[in-house]
Amino acid sequence: MNFSNFTESRRNHSTAMLVKTHSATVNGLTALSVVVEIHTTKSAQTNFIMVGLPDNAVRESRSRVTAALQNSKIFLREPQTTTVNLAPADVRKEGTGFDLPVAIGMVAAGNIIPTEMLDRFMLVGELGLDGSIRPIKGALPIAIKARAEGFEGLIVPEENVREAAVVNQLKVFGASHLKQVIAFLSGEPTLEQTIVNTREEFFQAQADCPYDFSEVKGQENVKRAFEVAAAGGHNLMLIGAPGCGKSMMAKRMPSILPRLTLAESLETTQIHSIAGCLASGTSLITRRPFRAPHHTVSDVALIGGGVNFQPGEISLAHNGVLFMDELPEFSKVALETLRQPLEDRVINISRAKYRATLPCSFMLVAAMNPCPCGYYNHPTRRCDCTPGQVQRYKNKISGPLLDRLDMHVEVVPVSLDELTKAPAGESSAQIRERVEKARAIQAERFKDSKGVHCNAQMTDAQIQTYATPDAAGENLLRLAIRKHDLSARAYNRILKVARTIADLEGAPQIQSHHIAEAVGYRSLERASWGE
């Protein structure tokens, strides 16, 4: 495109010009439409004023936009005063995505771009000093907002184009340089629409987890516990000595969970898009997330928030698995923040500058040593911890948090003979087949119950309706509670797990052997633990 006559055309233009472009900013899981108003007027010296509650990153767009225009050989009238207003003015604007709409508005004020074109497209993108367009966070929710607002198309950075193009009934164009956008809005075919067959690509891209349970030697009882947990959506605690395979097996939990549905994938992708965690060229997340934060993680990094809003690990694990290794080593504050999200499966974040609600329906797999030295109940190594030290170590996990962990499983180290001679176990695909059958039973059971999809989510009333054991099972449960001095809160947890075990068998009612197995998954509830 020829910009040689730009300076001369501006000399003959009126002293003032008002132009509007359209963009968006992310607010929680959704996007908020923003009108970018650019007013230019001739003045004695060059001024650039930005209003509308911009943060520092937005305010710094002045330098990026000015340099990008100059290095793209687009010379604006000098001197002039440019006023940029981001409406609505009472909502704080964050990020670098307003660079492109601001630059386009300033160019449009020079009569190069027909102003009617600006009303047809939403623009978002960060500018490099050379005029290149860099990726931004939240392209997917912005695309959803653009469609909802009735825009013909959306122009995004090239790296974000496939992510945004999963939204149908919206023309999405990817651009790599400012000049391409100016030429396109001037009527030249410099940008091509990106079309993504969302459903077809999603199912083609679905792949198995890189880790498989067939690689785990021995540990049949623990693998069974993982299967039960996956089938009912139960949170799981692993207790065992260092090196017994807790982390190894936890990494394989996503491989036996039901495959992501398209709706779950879209929701998960939105969260990762906001966090800026999507790789370039990614359209949809096709595998259940697995997040494993270090025990030094802060409570803000875990639940989300911060000065500039960012989804936390619990939201990034949405529809997947959150693995917390060395659970007692996490800070008390971080652990206690998990209680409400585990119960409600959403996190409400309220700060002085914003409010956000994010989904966080995840399976929690936690791991811990049985004692400070790690060798309590070890078959070959001696534990030097006193019963009091063992109990204090366990007590780092509060009762209310422990209450939300349906299953507690002791992991015993595998012997050398078993490690070298044991045949390969069942594959994750075989286990997942049984899990999906059990989940199908639960889906039918709870089809009329909003917000309940698996046994772990049952209310007290639903437990009484769907998880009542037969007479032998009821007697065994009462006996187990008295014998092991189990707490009252363990009662419902045992029934939930027993219901899942029965579903795996296809049994309509909970029986005594289902109760017996479920009771075995309450190790930490026993009063004798650590003695």
Q: How confident is the model at residue 4 (pLDDT cuts 50, 70, 90)?
A: very low
Closest of 273, 276, 31 to residue 146, by C-alpha: 31
Give me the half-sphere count of Cα atoms (radius 13 Å) on the Cβ side of residue 385. 22
Inside any domain, residue 429: no
Token digits of residue 4: 């040689």
Residue 186, token pair as written in the block = 């001037």
Instruction: Say if residue 17's pLDDT is above 90.
Output: no
CA-to-CA distance for 321 and 288, rounded, in angstroms?
8
d(CA 491, CA 463): 11
342 and 309, same structural domain? yes
DSSP label of 371: S
Quick one: which of 476, 489, 498 has its CA closest to 524?
489
pLDDT above 80 for 364 = yes
Signed CA dihedral, 431, 362, 370, 216: sign only: positive
CB 183 within 8 A of CB 149: no
pLDDT at 176 over 70: yes
In this structure, the answer to whether residues 281 and 346 fall within a common structural domain is yes
pLDDT attached to residue 15: 67
Q: Is the pLDDT of residue 401 over 70?
A: yes
Tell me if 343 is assigned to some domain.
Answer: yes
Which pLDDT value is given to residue 28? 74
CA distance 88 to 372: 55
Backbone angles phi, psi at 475, to 5 degrees: -65, -40
| pLDDT tens digits for range 375-394 | 887 878 888 888 888 888 88
Q: Do 42 and 134 belong to one domain?
A: yes
For residue 525, what pLDDT band results from cuts at 50, 70 and 90? low
Residue 336 CA to residue 21 CA, distance in Å, equals 45
Q: pLDDT-derived band of residue 144, with 50, 70 and 90 as boundaries?
A: very high
Q: Are residues 110 and 192 in the same domain?
A: yes
User: Is the link from the previous residue into 242 a cis peptide, with omega within 30 of 0?
Assistant: no
Q: Which domain holds residue 65?
A: 6-196
The pLDDT score that the predictor gives to residue 1 is 54
Q: Does 444 reside within a domain?
A: no
Indicate which CATH number applies to the domain containing 519: 1.10.8.60
Of the residues 353, 378, 411, the one at which a domain ends: 411
Predicted confidence band at 12 (pLDDT cuts at 50, 70, 90)? very low
The pLDDT assigned to 165 comes to 94
What integer is the mean pLDDT of 437-442?
96
What is the sign, positive or negative, of the torsion defined by CA atoms of 486, 490, 491, 495? negative
Rounded mean pLDDT of 63-85? 88
- Let me know whether 404 and 265 are in one domain: yes
pLDDT in tens, 294-352: 999 999 999 998 877 889 999 999 999 999 999 999 999 999 999 899 988 999 888 87
Q: Are residues 272 and 169 in the same domain?
A: no
Q: What is the pLDDT of residue 530?
A: 47
